[in-house]
Structure formats: structure tokens, C-alpha cells
């Protein structure tokens, strides 16, 4: 097999020198690519959905592989669990306990207006933290 780094006559190509100085005719690859994409698009419009459904039924692994292959490699998937209001877990635990206590004391809390429920909670907190009056 001939060494492709040598031109005829056995002398090596100089760095940057081409074996085909005229190169590929301009637009050849572009024209081919454009025609191929146009043909593919026409074929897809006619057959694409049917082929996808057929492959999905007959060979689910291949179908999944095709789906996965078209996802860009740079796509990073991240799953974050966020609590409402971006609360920290300790504060969220307090909210859940307060809600449980409110529901225990006001079983119909869900049917009341939020302001009414908060007024009840505020009054209960004030009553709990007030100092008892000692008579005597």
C-alpha cells in the first residue's frame, strides 16, 4: 500500500501542501447535503410517524436508543426538590406540625377563609403566652 504522505516520485509533501491543489469543486458537498436533507424531510413528512410507531411497538429498545441519541450530549439533567417558598427543611417541618395542630383544633379549617384560621391561631398563641392573673 502506498504511503499517502508522499507524492509521486517519492518526495514527501511539504507541510500545508495539498495533493489536490484544485480541491473539491465548490458547492459539491453543500449541494449533496441540501438535497439529502430535502429528501429526508419529504420522506419524514410521509413516513416518519408511522415508522416511529412501528419501531416503538416492534423494538422498544431501539426506539428508546434513537430517542436518547438525539438528545444533545451537553444536556445536564438535574433534579432538585424544593420546598414551598424555598423554606429550609427544619422550617418546613414546623409548618407541617402547626398545620396538623390547627386541623386537630379546627377540623373544618379547610372550609374557612385563611384569614379566619390565622386569626384563630394568633388568638391561641397570644392566650398561650399571656401570663396568668393571680387573684388574691
In a domain, residue 118? The reply is: yes
- The pLDDT > 90 percentage for the chain reads 18
Determine how many CB atoms are found less than 10 A away from the CB of residue 103. 13
- In terms of Cβ atoms closer than 10 Å to its own Cβ (0-12, 13-18, 19+), residue 125 is exposed
Same domain for 89 and 64: no
| 47 domain-assigned | yes
Q: How many structural domains does the chain have?
A: 2
- In tens, the pLDDT along 22-78 reads 666 666 678 888 888 899 899 999 999 999 999 999 998 998 888 888 887 776 666
- Whether residue 122 is contained in a domain is answered as yes
Residues 92, 123 within the same domain: yes
Instruction: Report the pLDDT value the prediction gives residue 27, as an integer from 0 to 100.
Output: 65
Does residue 58 sit in the same domain as residue 90?
no
pLDDT score of 15: 75
Which structural domain, as residue segments, surrounds residue 112? 84-129
Residue 79 counted as domain residue: no
Cβ-contact 83, 92 below 8 angstroms:
yes
Alpha-carbon span 65 to 28, nearest angstrom: 32
pLDDT of residue 47: 92
Q: Tell which residue, 118, 89, 82, has the closest CA to residue 102.
A: 118
pTM of the model: 0.35
Tell me, yes or no, whether 8 lies in a domain.
no
Amino acid at each position: 500500500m502506498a504511503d499517502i504522505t508522499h507524492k509521486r516520485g517519492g518526495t514527501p509533501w511539504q507541510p500545508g501542501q495539498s495533493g489536490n491543489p484544485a480541491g473539491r469543486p465548490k458547492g459539491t458537498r453543500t449541494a449533496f447535503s441540501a438535497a439529502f436533507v430535502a429528501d429526508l424531510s419529504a420522506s419524514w413528512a410521509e413516513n416518519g410517524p408511522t415508522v416511529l410507531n412501528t419501531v416503538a411497538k416492534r423494538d422498544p429498545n431501539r426506539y428508546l436508543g434513537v430517542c436518547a441519541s438525539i438528545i444533545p450530549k451537553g444536556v445536564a439533567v438535574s433534579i432538585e426538590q424544593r420546598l414551598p417558598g424555598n423554606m429550609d427543611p427544619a422550617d418546613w417541618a414546623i409548618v407541617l406540625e402547626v398545620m396538623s395542630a390547627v386541623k386537630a383544633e379546627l377540623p373544618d379549617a379547610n372550609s374557612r377563609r385563611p384569614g379566619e384560621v390565622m386569626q384563630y391561631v394568633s388568638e391561641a398563641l397570644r392566650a398561650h403566652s399571656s401570663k396568668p392573673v393571680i387573684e388574691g
